[in-house]
Amino acid sequence: MSATSTSNRVLVLGKGSSGKAAAALAESQGRQVEFADGIGLVVASPGVRVMSELEYGCRELKRLGVKMLAVTGSKGKSSVVKLVADALNLAGFHATPCGNYGLPVSELALSLQSAPSTQQWAVVEVSSFMLETTTLPPDTFEAVAILNLQEDHLDRHGSVEVYHALKRRLMDFAKVGFAPGDVRCDAAAVPKGCYFDNDVLRVNGGYAVALMRAAGLDDATIARAFSEFEPLPHRFQTVAELDGVRYVDDSKATSVAALVAGVAMSGGKTRLIAGGLPKRDDPKIALPILTERVKKVYLIGQSAEAFESAWKNAVDCEVCGTLDRAVEAARRDAVKGETVLLSPGAASFDQFKSFGERGEVFASLVKKEGQKTT
């Protein structure tokens, strides 16, 4: 087989939405595509070039002249991506959320091949998994933001240091970068509303505002975007109030660090439903916030016993096993002025297909509890 024909072949690993999008983009470029699925580990010869679907799609978007922003972090990525894309659309651009949220990047690139637009923006959510096999030029993104760096995905990356280092790689691919305690851009490039304090970038109004201003949006458009923003489901979403008790779906909180953030948002007098498929993060990092703000924890899923062992000396814990039993127990105990919060601190796959299904089941169970008293 000639070198030319070999270089024209593309092996796509995985037949999920990203894999299929990459395959379609490759075929549009005249490449011969083969699929391999159900593989847990790939060992590549040094002679084989390996890249992520993110890199493949972004390189094509760059070729098409599409401007790009990118967001990563341990919590809140999808909401910021949606907010920034909404703001760009309000300003009259054509902005598409893509990457880990929205369309696969390659699917967006393929859709724009026939009609590229100078008004087109891509707002890309980037995961640590994507960054493992991504290398891009330093001017790929107009601006990027790392929202926060907590402890997550240790089952994949092995240590929090490796996980954080992967997240910070995104800064290498951007003209302007915003991250906790770090900035890699010239002072002259910092958008309005951002300033340096002892070499640390401070952002007024948050990273979403910084990205919007880096894209050239004015204050009126930014204010309108915030006022009209419709939050994504399962991110600290109030689903009901029964007898003065608020029920909140934060099913997207799939790590202990995200659980901590959810409890902090709920304030005091919280009854927490937690547990699921553990991710190897340390449940003890939640002890301070549990001691301060949580009246009782109702535990479900595979991590129930481990969470109970870690928390029982700091907060009252009840192992319920399943979500329906947890909702029923929390409904029994809760009194007016309290919040029942589903913020699992673990993945959903031991009992549910996704965090979305887990949140939907929670809302349905809460509704049934309300019907018992009507």
Q: Mean of the pLDDT values across residues 190-214? A: 63
Report pTM.
0.82
Q: In this structure, what are the phi and psi dihedrals at residue 272, rounded to the nearest 5 degrees?
A: -100, 130
Predicted confidence at residue 47, as pLDDT, reads 87
pLDDT confidence band for 269 (50 / 70 / 90): very high
Instruction: Report the C-alpha gap between 131 and 326 in whole angstroms.
Output: 37
| Residue 48 pLDDT exceeds 90 | no
Give the CATH number of domain 50-228; options: 3.30.70.260, 1.10.630.10, 3.40.1190.10, 3.40.50.620.
3.40.1190.10
Q: Where are the domains of the chain?
A: 50-228, 237-371
Q: Return the structure tokens found at 212.
A: 């919007």
pLDDT confidence band for 150 (50 / 70 / 90): confident
Nearest Cα residue to 67 out of 24, 126, 117, 104: 117
Task: Average the pLDDT over each of 141-145, 229-233, 330-334 and give the range with the smallest value.
Answer: 229-233
Strands 94-99 and 120-125, bridge-based pairing: parallel
Q: How confident is the model over 286-311, as pLDDT tens digits?
A: 999 999 999 999 999 999 999 999 99
CATH H-level, domain 237-371: superfamily: Mur ligase, C-terminal domain (3.90.190.20)
Q: Return the structure tokens found at 80.
A: 């910021």
